[in-house]
Structure 1
Amino acid sequence: MSVNVRIPTILRTYTGGKAEVAAEGTTLSEVIQSLEASHPGIAARVLDDQGKLRRFVNVYVNDDDVRFEQGLETATPAGAGVSIIPAVAGG
């Protein structure tokens, strides 16, 4: 199933500057694998060495934070919007 993935500015070097790209998958894990196949290097910025979502990267499927859903197994229905948002710290 095709979904639209919104890419933050810091990761657009992997997508040729595109702010939004299409990816395939019925779960977030599959979508990230699809992104990696099309845009090598992006998965390493989203996933840690154990293959889990990085602590300071927030991912939403539509408006739902996947950390409060099923994480990487969160369903990504056709036409869903996936947003990758790096956490910003400051003071």
Structure 2
Amino acid sequence: MAGEVNVLIPSLLRPLVGGREELALEVDEQGATVAELLDAIGAAHPVFNRRVRDETGALRRFVNIYLDGDDVRRKDGLKTRVAAGQEVLVIQSVAGG
């Protein structure tokens, strides 16, 4: 059954997605990978994509992505499958001094 995945955007990245806190992305009954969700966001908001992933497509060191509270790096990374109804949280670390 197709549905939506909610992607929560941190305040530092919101200006890159039109100020939105949350993006609802349609997925089919197979779901989507984290990479596919980021591709969909990046297609509409290319600067967001460059802030989250490096030139090779890997997550940047200072960006963490959680699927229902679990760090995707401890799962299958960007290949982690996301089903409709699940929540993805993007966190961008802020360096301080």
Identity, % of aligned pairs? 47
SS at match of 1:10: coil
Tell me the residue number matched to 1:54: 60
Closer, same or farther: CA 35–21 of 1 in aligned 2, 3 Å: same
Tell me the residue number matched to 2:4: 2
Q: Given the two structures, how large is their TM-score scaled by the length of structure 1?
A: 0.89
Q: Given the two structures, how large is their TM-score scaled by the length of structure 2?
A: 0.84
SS at match of 1:41: helix
1:84 aligns with 2:90: yes
Closer, same or farther: CA 33–24 of 1 in aligned 2, 3 Å: farther
Q: Where in structure 2 are there 5+ consecutive unaligned residues?
A: none
Shift, 1:80, TM fit: 1.0
More strand by share: 2
The structure with the largest alpha-carbon Rg is 2
2-side partners of 1:54 and 1:27: how far apart?
17
Given candidates 12, 15, 18, the residue that maps to 1:13 is 15
User: Runs (4+) of structure 1 moved beyond 4 Å?
Assistant: none
Alignment of 1:56-71 (within 5 A): 56-71=62-77
